[in-house]
Amino acid sequence: MARNKLTHFDRGGAARMVDVGLKPETARVAVASGSVRMQATTAALVRGGRAGKGDVLGLARTAAIQGLKRTAELIPLCHPVRVVGVDVALAVSGPRARPARVTIRAEVHAHDRTGVEMEALTAVSIAALTVYDMLKAVDRGMVIEAVRLDEKRGGKSGLWRRGGGRK
Helix (H) or strand (E) segment spanning residue 40: helix 40-47
Query: Which among 30, 49, 59 has a CA at the least distance from the CA of 155?
Result: 30
Q: What residues form DSSP beta bridges with 89?
A: 105
Q: Are 28 and 118 in contact (CB under 8 A)?
A: no
Query: Which among 83, 72, 62, 79 has a CA at the least distance from the CA of 129?
Result: 62
Q: How far apart are CA 163 and CA 138, in angstroms?
A: 36
Query: Which among 78, 74, 70 has a CA at the least distance from the CA of 117?
Result: 78
Catalytic residue check, 133: yes
What radius of gyration, in Å, describes the C-alpha atoms of the chain? 18
Q: Choosing from 87, 133, 139, 150, which is the catalytic residue?
A: 133
Q: Which residues are catalytic?
A: 133
